[in-house]
Structure 1
Amino acid sequence: MKKVKILLIVLCCACYAINAQNVNVDSRGKIISIKAVDTNIDTEGSKYINKNFTPITIAQFEDKIYNGRYNAFSGEMEVNLGDNKVLLLDNNTDYEITFSHSKKLYRTENFTNNKGIKKNGFLVVVHETNKSALLKEESITYHKKVDAASSYEKDIPARYIRNKDAYYIDYNNTITYISHRRKDLLKSFPNEASKLKSYIKKNKINLKEEDDLIKLVDYMSNLSK
């Protein structure tokens, strides 16, 4: 209840402060920044999954509609405040953001990525049961401009490129990165390794296919304590 009240205060304060310059709102000891919307036109591609702001709901306030978009380059959820300014939601706060048209659900989670780096950030809830879930991390990388090596070549402009999505399984309250390699997956779940190995082989599960990962999550849900 305390988090809900704080979130409401933050959103209200942000809207009130919309015309101020260099405004910061202090939320739960964290700084929520209000900044000008990026209008860089010299870079190809986009840092956003969907460039335009579209209607979203925040779980605590389902009766209210905001406009948001996900910045997959910085890993931040942006809420449009108008006047060319956006509110960056705090990744350390518990959020569930649903995009109204697509029903796509983002949730803040604590997880460790495939490089062993611990993160707080937004993951897409692809599929969920009462005991396990398949989560997806969307990311975009910035590539600097590359000048032509000779007059016979062309410059390669600066660009944003979307990376392949990374998948995670939330199982027994632990979020685990899903490798495309079966032996790595089995190492991640040693107590279930034997059963998982048999299930994957019998059902020809492809760890690179989202639909197959959904099947795997459903199977693991039945194994969960």
Structure 2
Amino acid sequence: MKIKTLLAVSTVFVSSFAIAQQTYVNKNGSMDYMYSKKAPSQPAQGTQYYIEKFTPAKIDDSKEVALVRYNAYNDEMELKINDEIMVLEPKDDMDIKLVNNAAEYKFVKYKKEEGDAAQGYLVVISNNPNVTIYKQERIYLQPEQHPSVGYQKYKAPKYKELSPIYYIQLNNGPIVYMSDRRKDVYKLIPGKEKEIKRFIKDNRINVSDDEELKELGNYLSTLL
């Protein structure tokens, strides 16, 4: 009975494998090459948004409330107008505040870690007279993966969140990359390394946490 069961399972496995992978044999009976059928592509899984729903917001100084959502994959602000989805035309320093205080987005120029200039939407984390800390929300598309051999499975493309990147602006200067390494944060304000280090250690500040970065921004503002 066990032998029959084993033979049956083996037959199913071989049959399944044969469907996925075929062998071409020429007239002389010798094998020339093997091939497998390519799986059809599927729509991407996941989402391009941190907040999927459209949220009421005010744009710049407008008194009107608009329905918006941020597309983190395309770095675009979408509007919902009469059940149609539009893309907001950005302009320098455009400010978009969600009315429930969930987030505030600004369209600004900034410098990446490598020093390259860029422009896009950043989330305001801490806003003080002398110090503003921003966060860049990021989503990327993981490519689809086709099996290289018959027994592997096809994997559809998928949107995935990346760790956020932080930026800082001091005294209305340029917005520059802000490292999340503590030893780099200590040096944000030249000559104030000891004070910053003491504050971070005494208050156990996590420099990758939005709420705690608000505290850090408030403190840095007092040093300028």
Q: Which TM-score applies when normalising by structure 2? A: 0.71
Residue equivalent to 2:61: 60
Alpha-carbon contact 1:78-1:89 (below 8 Å) kept: no
Superposed CA deviations along residues 6-38 of structure 1, whole A, max 9, x for unmatched, are: xxxxxxxxxxxxxxxxxxxxxxxxxxxxxxxxx
Residue equivalent to 2:190: 190
> How far does residue 176 in structure 1 lie from its aligned partner after superposition?
3.1
Residue equivalent to 2:28: none
Percent of paired sites with the same residue: 30
Residue equivalent to 1:217: 217
Residue equivalent to 2:126: 127
* Closer/same/farther in 2, CA of residues 88 and 196 from structure 1, 3 Å limit: same
Alpha-carbon contact 2:76-2:87 (below 8 Å) kept: no
Amino acid at match of 1:56: A
Alpha-carbon contact 1:186-1:196 (below 8 Å) kept: yes
Amino acid at match of 2:157: A
Residue equivalent to 1:166: 165
> How far does residue 201 in structure 1 lie from its aligned partner after superposition?
3.2
Structure 1 unaligned blocks of 5 or more: 1-40
Residue equivalent to 2:100: 101
Amino acid at match of 2:53: N
> How far does residue 47 in structure 1 lie from its aligned partner after superposition?
1.4
> How far does residue 198 in structure 1 lie from its aligned partner after superposition?
2.9
* Closer/same/farther in 2, CA of residues 126 and 222 from structure 1, 3 Å limit: same
Residue equivalent to 1:139: 138
Residue equivalent to 2:4: none
Determine the C-alpha separation between the residues in 1 that align with 2:49 and 2:185.
30
SS at match of 1:114: coil
Residue equivalent to 2:46: 45
Instruction: Choose 159-168 or 202-211, whichever is displaced more.
Output: 202-211
1:8-87 correspondence runs (5 A): 42-61=43-62, 63-82=63-82, 84-87=84-87
Alpha-carbon contact 2:54-2:69 (below 8 Å) kept: yes
Superposed CA deviations along residues 122-174 of structure 1, whole A, max 9, x for unmatched, are: 11112222332221111111121111233332212111111111122222113
Alpha-carbon contact 2:179-2:185 (below 8 Å) kept: yes
SS at match of 1:42: coil
Say how many residue pairs are matched.
Answer: 182
> How far does residue 102 in structure 1 lie from its aligned partner after superposition?
4.3
Determine the C-alpha separation between the residues in 1 that align with 2:179 and 2:216.
13
* Closer/same/farther in 2, CA of residues 79 and 187 from structure 1, 3 Å limit: same
Superposed CA deviations along residues 72-127 of structure 1, whole A, max 9, x for unmatched, are: 1121112223464413322x432111122344211122211234332111111122
SS at match of 1:109: strand
Amino acid at match of 1:45: G
Alpha-carbon contact 1:79-1:89 (below 8 Å) kept: no
If you compute each CA radius of gyration, which structure gives the higher value, 1 or 2? 2
Residue equivalent to 1:154: 153
Determine the C-alpha separation between the residues in 1 that align with 2:55 and 2:206.
33
